[in-house]
Amino acid sequence: MKLRAEDTAAIFIDFQEKLVPAIDDNAAIVEKTVILAKGLAEFDIPFVVSQQYTKGLGETVPAVKEAFATFSYMEKTDFSCCVCDEIGAWVKASGKKNVIVCGVEAHICVMQTVRDLLEAGYQVFVPVDCVGSRKPIDLKYGLKRMEKEGAYLSTCESILFELTGGAKAPQFKTISKLVK
């Protein structure tokens, strides 16, 4: 299964002000997520950002919000993004067969979104360094479950260079600078 930009969309799940500080290793996860967002923009990969109950959990953290040239989010109250009519319709309308999924928490919203995408027939890629939970054990078993269900576990850098394809690609220099 080769990841190609023209076949790919991305979902950024719940990187919110009141949730991110509680996530184990949150600074590294946010840093990699910013790199991922900027890198995906180089390939014009469409994306959606979800916010879980914004009134309670706050807005998307500034670093992630600023990684996007244009930022908007879709509100949800269900754990799976696919249950949210607006996000589910967006994924379907994208016409893409691959979906990169990152966010928090790995064992709840990310895992349930991944499961529902897989059940709907999408190929799902999870950059493990852009996913987190409050407790390491929840991250570990959330990722194991996603992989067991059929998701492809990878890293931010691996995904970006797979999309790049080689040193002659027009995005190569930009991607190389982003990951250093």
Q: Locate 120 and state its tokens.
A: 């709907």
What is residue 162's predicted lDDT score, i.e. its pLDDT? Answer: 97
Instruction: Report the mean per-residue pLDDT for the chain.
Output: 97
User: ω before 105 within 30° of 0 (cis)?
Assistant: yes
pLDDT tops 80 at residue 90: yes
pLDDT tops 90 at residue 2: no
Q: Give the rounded percent of residues in the chain with a pLDDT score beyond 70.
A: 100
**CA angle, corner 152, sides to 150 and 155, nearest 5?**
155
We report the CATH number of the domain holding residue 175 as: 3.40.50.850
Task: Give one word for 114, left, alpha or beta, with left for phi > 0 and alpha for psi -120 to 50.
Answer: alpha
pTM greater than 0.95: yes
Domain count for the chain: 1
Separation of alpha carbons 22 and 30, rounded Å: 12
**CA angle, corner 69, sides to 63 and 75, nearest 5?**
70
Q: In a 3-state reduction of DSSP, which class is residue 112? A: helix
What is residue 83's predicted lDDT score, i.e. its pLDDT? Answer: 94
Separation of alpha carbons 105 and 79, rounded Å: 10
Q: Which residue range forms the structural domain that includes residue 111?
A: 5-179
Q: Are 178 and 172 in contact (CB under 8 A)?
A: no
pLDDT tops 90 at residue 1: no
